[in-house]
Amino acid sequence: MSGIPRKSRVVGVIASENDLEAVLGETGKLIDLCELRIDILEPCSARLRDLATTLSIPKVVAVRDPVEGGLNQLSEARRSELFEEWFGLSSYIDLELRNLVRFRSLAGRAETAGIQIIVSLHDFDKTPSLQELETALDKSRGDRQRIFKIACKVTRWDDVKVLSEILEKHPETPIAVMGMGPLGKLSRILFAGLGSELAYVSVGNSVASGQWPADKFRLLLSELERR
Residue 149 annotated as catalytic: yes
CA nearest 151: which of 126, 186, 174?
126
CA distance 217 to 167: 20
N-terminal to C-terminal alpha carbon distance within the chain? 16
Q: Are 174 and 148 in contact (CB under 8 A)?
A: yes
> Phi/psi at 113 (nearest 5 deg)?
-85, 0
CA distance 65 to 73: 8
CA distance 112 to 193: 32
Catalytically annotated residue among 7, 126, 139, 149: 149
Helix or strand holding residue 107 (H, E):
helix 104-112
Residue 170 annotated as catalytic: no
Q: Are 142 and 107 in contact (CB under 8 A)?
A: yes
Question: What length does the chain have?
Answer: 227
Q: Are 19 and 209 in contact (CB under 8 A)?
A: no
Quickly count: other Cβ atoms within 10 Å of residue 13's Cβ: 26
Catalytically annotated residue among 7, 59, 122, 139: 122
178 strand-pairing partners: 151
**Which of the residues are catalytic?**
122, 149
